[in-house]
Amino acid sequence: MIRLSTTDPAAPAAPRSGAADTAAPPPGRDRVVGSTEVLCVLLVLVGVLHRQVGSLVSDPRLQTWLTVFVSVLVQAMPFLVFGVVLSAVIAVFVPRSFWARALPRHPALAVPVAGAAGVVLPGCECGSVPIAGSLIRRGVTPAAALAFLLAAPAINPIVLTATAVAFPRNPEMVVARGGASLVVALAMGWLWLRLGRSEWIRLPHRAHLDTMPRATAFWAACRQDVVHAGGFLVLGAMAAATINVVVPQQVLHDLAAGPVLSVLALAALAVLLSICSEADAFVAASLSQFSLTARLAFLVVGPMVDLKLVSMQAGMFGRAFALRFAPATFLLAVLVAAVVGTVLW
């Protein structure tokens, strides 16, 4: 008799939410059917019926959706795992006192230091969300962690190199992108210092990692962050794949005509497409019917606000946070990109 679920220490404690748990009888009883059993039955069903499921998705457009969905996840997974491992290292092996020493004591000064530190993190936006969460949990002031969150995916050497390769005839695009992104990241950090409220941020509950053996704590932190951030990444990838398949390209062509409209259109497209920041420069380069300013807006907005990122931020910091932070970042990013673009071109 399999009774794995009784080992779940949650059973007698608080009632939990989630699709899996609706299948379980109310807590308090000695449960026989739990989430793990449901999972096993589901897996057996999929194993037996996958041919039938496969023939259901033979429509070419549905297949394109599936391919784009899977590829967004496959592309993001190494970066997510890298970010999760790094955030577990921060959570388990870096003592709290380190951050007090590494960052200036005054929060207004900690913001630029943390933002500039984003230069050294070679990755894309999926990895920086768990890292920022981990930094806040370890006592770094949220304003500094948020500046890092916004700056890291946009100004690291890999992304800037990709931008230089994608725009061989406009090398100033690299400077414009790095500069505008850093300005937005720092401005958002300082804006958070003035207007932000700490109760907007609700980090998901974590065990007291300090009390566990270090190896156990490290793997537990990795597992929880992957499951949590990864789940929201799946939501974002589904949205991005849907946009990719549904929005007709002719629409874009018509939007490129007006100078203001084209900037707004590409900024919105950056949000919807949710392309990894290491690839977005190539996509921007291919949108050649749009002005350089519009494409700069695409490159500045993309790594800071997009569907999968907002989804992951809502998961990591809470919905109240994401609902305020993402629109403010979007507006500021469009504004800064428009100003920089107008000055340059």
Contacts to other proteins from residues 217-256, by CB under 8 A: 217, 219-220, 222-224, 226-228, 230-232, 234-235, 237, 240-241, 244-245, 248-250, 252-253
Q: Per rule CB under 8 A, is residue 314 in the interface with other proteins?
A: yes
Which residue has 């920022």 as its token pair?
A: 132
Neighbours of 143 (CB within 10 A): 23
Of 98, 190, 200, 282, which one interacts with other proteins (CB under 8 A)?
Answer: 282
> What's the CA gap between 287 and 256, in Å, rounded?
9
In terms of Cβ atoms closer than 10 Å to its own Cβ (0-12, 13-18, 19+), residue 337 is buried
Q: Write each residue from 122 to 161 as x if it is in contact with other proteins (CB under 8 A), else as -, in one continuous string.
A: ----------------------------------------
Of 164, 170, 206, 324, which one interacts with other proteins (CB under 8 A)?
Answer: 206
How far is residue 301 CA from its own chain's centroid? 13
Of 69, 99, 325, 330, which one interacts with other proteins (CB under 8 A)?
Answer: 69
Q: Per rule CB under 8 A, is residue 310 in the interface with other proteins?
A: no
In terms of Cβ atoms closer than 10 Å to its own Cβ (0-12, 13-18, 19+), residue 297 is buried
Nearer to other proteins, 128 or 144 (CB): 128
Least distance (Å) between residue 32 CB and other proteins = 15
DSSP codes, 216-274 = HHHHHHHHHHHHHHHHHHHHHHHHHHHHHHHS-HHHHHHHTSSHHHHHHHHHHHHHHH-
Please work out, in degrees rounded to the nearest 5, the angle formed at the alpha carbon of residue 99 by the alpha carbons of 98 and 101: 70
> What's the CA gap between 272 and 169, in Å, rounded?
27
Of 29, 32, 39, 345, which one interacts with other proteins (CB under 8 A)?
Answer: 39
Task: Using the rule CB under 8 A, give the single segment among 10-18, 97-105, 135-143, 183-191 that binds other proteins.
Answer: 10-18
Closest CA to 83 of 144, 120, 129, 115: 129
Closest CA to 338 of 303, 304, 292: 292
Task: Using the rule CB under 8 A, give the single segment among 45-53, 109-117, 182-190, 191-199 that binds other proteins.
Answer: 45-53
List the interface residues with other proteins, window 161-180 (CB under 8 A).
166, 169
Least distance (Å) between residue 336 CB and other proteins = 24
Of 14, 26, 101, 105, which one interacts with other proteins (CB under 8 A)?
Answer: 14
Least distance (Å) between residue 269 CB and other proteins = 12
Q: Per rule CB under 8 A, is residue 285 in the interface with other proteins?
A: yes
**Amino acid letter, residue 185:** A
Nearer to other proteins, 306 or 338 (CB): 306
Task: Using the rule CB under 8 A, give the single segment among 98-106, 193-201, 204-212, 259-267 that binds other proteins.
Answer: 204-212
Of 32, 41, 44, 57, which one interacts with other proteins (CB under 8 A)?
Answer: 57
Least distance (Å) between residue 90 CB and other proteins = 16
Pair 175, 298: CB distance under 8 Å: no
Least distance (Å) between residue 335 CB and other proteins = 26
**Amino acid letter, residue 36:** T
